[in-house]
Amino acid sequence: MNYKTKEKIYEKILLISAFFSVITIILIGGFVFKEGFPTISKIGLIDFLLGKEWYPTKGVFGIFPMIVGTFAVTIGALILGVPLGVATAIFLAEFAPARVCRIIRPAVELLAGIPSVVYGLFGMVIVNQIIMHIERTYLAGILKPEYQRGYSVLSASIILAIMILPTVINISEDAIRSVPREYKEASLALGATDWQTIYKVLVPAASSGIIAAVVLGMGRALGETMAVIMVAGNTAIVPDSIFAPVRTLTGNIAIEMGYAAGDHVNALFATGIVLFVIIMVLNTVATYIAKRGVSQG
């Protein structure tokens, strides 16, 4: 078998692999839409998305509290995790000695390998207890009594921020290291300091990769279930503060699918449709922003 024949075979294998990936996504999406769309048609899209009450036993299905809860914990995780992750990536790429990198990188990789249930246990035992102490000691006269248990948007955001750190750090570091060294050398030659070079040259040049890191971290936060269930409180209400308990879309599906029946099952699949669409829209927007950053760069 000659070289060209082998090349064609490998090309066909890769094409088939890509084809199966696309088919898998289509099948999953089609199944979720098939099961959930009847409930959306029955209830009405607006009532389903903007309804503030979720009482499956009474046939009332409104997922607005879960939508708000999902975005609340995701945005909170990004606010806490992205600056820390990007800063760590800059340190590893530009400042850290080799012996320090040999310690930090395995630690970051270990974070990625810890099961989500372990993060949930850590959140329940440590993070929730600290937040509950703060609530009862300093905010007792401000917060409602049912909020003073530690289970909150803040607790879930902290745990998710820790969970997305490996993704943000690794991809951001790779993006920064991929910037041609001539950029840095030219900036320093013109008299810029190291910090000016980092935030005016290196970070903008690596912005598309950093955005990709944020998008992947956001996807991890949106899709996380077990850890959030264990620390968020799982109350289907619209949170009015970062100390309020919350339920996410993924948590709603995981908690109730085991005992759901009839319209309740279809409503949970409809919840999956909403989550599916949200992730598709966010990924599309983020991809557009990343490409626009590359073209402008």
Phi, psi of 275, rounded to the nearest 5 degrees:
-65, -40
Q: What is the mean pLDDT of residues 278-289?
A: 78
Give the pLDDT score at 98: 85
CATH T-level topology, domain 3-113+151-296: MetI-like fold (1.10.3720)
Q: What is the mean pLDDT of residues 183-203?
A: 89
The one-letter code for the residue type at 158 is I
SS3 61: strand
Of the pLDDT bands very low, low, confident and very high (cuts 50, 70, 90), residue 212 is confident
Spell out where the chain has E strands.
54-55, 60-61
Rounded CA-CA distance 81/161 in Å is: 4
Give the pLDDT score at 295: 58
| Residue ranges of domains in the chain | 3-113+151-296
Q: What is the mean pLDDT of residues 112-138?
A: 91
Give the pLDDT score at 71: 93
Give the pLDDT score at 77: 95
